[in-house]
Amino acid sequence: MAFKSIIDEIENNLNKILNDLSISDVKFTVEPSKPGFGDVSSNISFLLSKQLKKSPKDIAEMISEKYQHCSNTLVLKTEAHQSGYLNFFANWKKLNQLILSESYLDEFGDVDIGKNSTIVVEHTSVNPNKALHIGHIRNIIIGDTLSRILKKANYKVSVLNYIDDSGLQVADLIVGFKHFGFDQEPPNGKKFDHYCGDDVYVKTTEKYESDSSLEEIRKNILKELEDSNSDTAKFANKITRRVLVNQLETCWNLSVSYDCLNFESQIIRSGLWSKIFEKIKGMNLVEFENEGKNVGCWVIRGVDKEEDKIIVRSNGTATYIAKDIPYAAWKLGLVEDPFHYQKYEKKQPHSRVLWQTTLDSNNESVKNFTGEKVITVIDSRQARLQKIITSLMAKFKSVSDAYVHLSYESVTLSAETAKSLGLDTDGKQAQMSGRRGLYVNADSVYDLLKKKTIEETKKRNPEMDSSEIEKIAHHISVGTLRYEMIKQDLDKIITFDLTKSLSLDGDTAPYIQYAHARATRILEKSERSPSIEVDFSLLQEKSELDLIKTIGLFDIHVRDAVNNLSPKVIARYCHDLAVVFNSFYEHVKVLELSDAQLENSRLCIVNSFKITLEKALDLLGIVAPDRM
């Protein structure tokens, strides 16, 4: 519970006071206070002002007086601020002991919001026709971080990756290989996913502008892809599986892993759509058009001024959304599972088993990757489509938030970073487009980050072993990429700048990681094992109490991140924690004190900070090196 313990104590006592006053249904807040407002503040006086016909300040004074008669363990005193807020000051001797003792526990920061209920997080879902670019990385890191946070909140999480192996972009790849003679082996050891995206896909799509006959070829290929026994489908499976392996290697390198891969081609062939379509018609959620521009089509009516959405064309073929609807219903467990499961041929790091769907029966035990709730991470450009699916699933399940679209904005590259990666953007930010070949693959960004980090680490640690430098550089590079993708609000466009992201100052991963390395060095120099068997009353300096308080806020931030589906909350907490520790480091001496008891107490804080930061960074998928 840590700092939340004092908040809970205050809430309980305020509710008792309200009960004595015969007042109910007052939704007041009790929160960690801003500087100058004690340790905890409540807005209760403002909410009672109209009812009691008194000023907030007068009410705060009245409640403050009554609070003195309540049973208090963690509150030392209350104060009615002239603004009307009711402020509380902690008994830091007791709160120090509570927070620091709890921070040493493995479960520190855990919150039981999920109650072990099942939830699906689907992310990545990149067409298997090219390498992952820096824009895809935002989706991947948001999804992976969110799944980590939800597990911390006691949800049973299944992480899915939807493989669109039968769409237009795959068809374009097949056109390139089959009709333009592209070799199936990439040149000069180039990764296959890079080769497909940079060469085959881009150069093939360029030809559509000059040769209209290719459209008919693509249509025929799309049709052939639906037949699993066709030569085209078999060839497409071979090519897309090779691309997928490379894409997954990129994800694994960034500490991202999954529970199950779901293939669009299998969803199409499973018969799920026909079952869902009959259900939709039976619930009158679609209408057949007898006239107008959509005559002969089945449509979902647009809301407000939105246009109707066709889900089945007049020729009987289903549109793109018709693939997503049955998949969404499957994720929620609303249809009988048509799939069997088998282990993916390559192992993920950290021994996490990766399963994949198959339509072929086997001897594997029955798997269940559905959830009572589904969160799908998809960029804002698909908001209309996701709105329709969300609405349908709410009607199917009769739960308004059973299916959630977590939207995010795009990623651009700063002009300087684009130039360093070989893109000519005329001094402008780089907007990415796979079709036009204007993108920077994630592997290239990682490689450049790692190169720069190795150079800097060698300068700082000339005596360090090369393998150790390589390891540190990897953790910093991955941490940098992940942090830059998660620290912004989801509705803000990210402009990624290579140089700024590696800075040891400001809101960056290396700044946070360096604070951890600094704490590690202090503990190493002490040459003793930190313990919680210390005198907590000795910790009275402002920088000490600020650090302990920030450590104690960990579970409050986890709760906030879960309730608002906002991974940024944890990124901000990590940065705040590092800032407060660095202030502690500058203002308080830890080692070589004449007072052994005080030294032990401060070492206890340093170790508590180190443990807490490691846990918080782990939620972001970031490792903090012991040296930098």
pLDDT of residue 240: 97
The three-state (H, E, C) secondary structure of 178-191, written as one string = HHCCCCCCCHHHCC
Residue 347 located in a structural domain: no
Mean pLDDT of 125-143: 94
Q: Checking DSSP bridges between strand 40-42 and strand 30-32, what pairing results, if any?
A: antiparallel
Residue 27 located in a structural domain: yes
- pLDDT band at 365; cut points 50, 70, 90: confident
Residue 357 located in a structural domain: no
Query: Which of these ranges, 10-19, 165-174, 336-345, has the smallest mean pLDDT?
Result: 165-174
> Is the model's pLDDT at 323 over the cut of 90?
no
What mean pLDDT is reported for the chain? 93
pLDDT of residue 432: 62
Residue 105 CA to its chain's centroid (Å) = 25
pLDDT of residue 108: 97
pLDDT digits (tens, 9 = 90+) for 384-420: 899 999 999 999 888 889 999 999 999 988 888 877 7
Q: Which residue has the tokens 């190493």?
A: 524
> Is the model's pLDDT at 422 over the cut of 80?
no
> Is the model's pLDDT at 140 over the cut of 90?
yes
- pLDDT band at 4; cut points 50, 70, 90: very high
pLDDT of residue 214: 87
Residue 477 located in a structural domain: no
pLDDT of residue 322: 82
Mean pLDDT of 526-552: 95
Residue 531 located in a structural domain: no
pLDDT digits (tens, 9 = 90+) for 267-287: 989 999 988 999 899 999 999
pLDDT of residue 316: 81
> Is the model's pLDDT at 497 over the cut of 60?
yes
Q: What is the CATH number of the domain that holds 86?
A: 3.30.1360.70
Beta-bridge partner residues of 185: none
- pLDDT band at 346; cut points 50, 70, 90: very high
- pLDDT band at 434; cut points 50, 70, 90: low
Residue ending a domain, among 320, 349, 382, is 320
> Is the model's pLDDT at 435 over the cut of 80?
no
Per DSSP, the three-state class of 79 is strand
Count of domains forming the chain? 2
Can you give the residue range of the structural domain that contains 300?
A: 271-320
Residue 26 located in a structural domain: yes
pLDDT of residue 441: 87
> Is the model's pLDDT at 191 over the cut of 60?
yes
Query: Which of these ranges, 139-148, 208-217, 327-336, 552-561, has the smallest mean pLDDT?
Result: 208-217
Q: Checking DSSP bridges between strand 340-343 and strand 309-312, what pairing results, if any?
A: unpaired
Q: What are phi and psi of 409, to 5 degrees?
A: -95, 175
Residue 192 located in a structural domain: no
> Is the model's pLDDT at 433 over the cut of 70?
no
> Is the model's pLDDT at 430 over the cut of 80?
no
Residue ending a domain, among 41, 62, 90, is 90
Residue 340 CA to its chain's centroid (Å) = 29
pLDDT over 90 for what percent of the chain?
77
Count of residues making up the chain: 628
Q: Checking DSSP bridges between strand 298-300 and strand 309-312, what pairing results, if any?
A: antiparallel
pLDDT of residue 134: 87
pTM for the whole structure: 0.93
Residue 112 located in a structural domain: no
Euclidean distance between the first and the last CA atom of the chain, given in angstroms as a whole number: 33
pLDDT digits (tens, 9 = 90+) for 513-530: 999 999 999 999 998 899
307 vs 489, which has greater pLDDT?
Answer: 489
Residue ending a domain, among 66, 90, 114, is 90
Alpha helices for 104-167 (secondary structure H): 134-152
> Is the model's pLDDT at 107 over the cut of 70?
yes
- How far are the Cα atoms of 47, 444, 480, 588, 609 from residue 605, in angstroms, in the given order? 38, 40, 26, 11, 6
Mean pLDDT of 415-428: 75
> Is the model's pLDDT at 320 over the cut of 90?
no
The three-state (H, E, C) secondary structure of 283-338, written as one string = CCCCEECCCCCCCCCEEECCCCCCCCEEEECCCCCECCHHHHHHHHHHHCCCCCCC
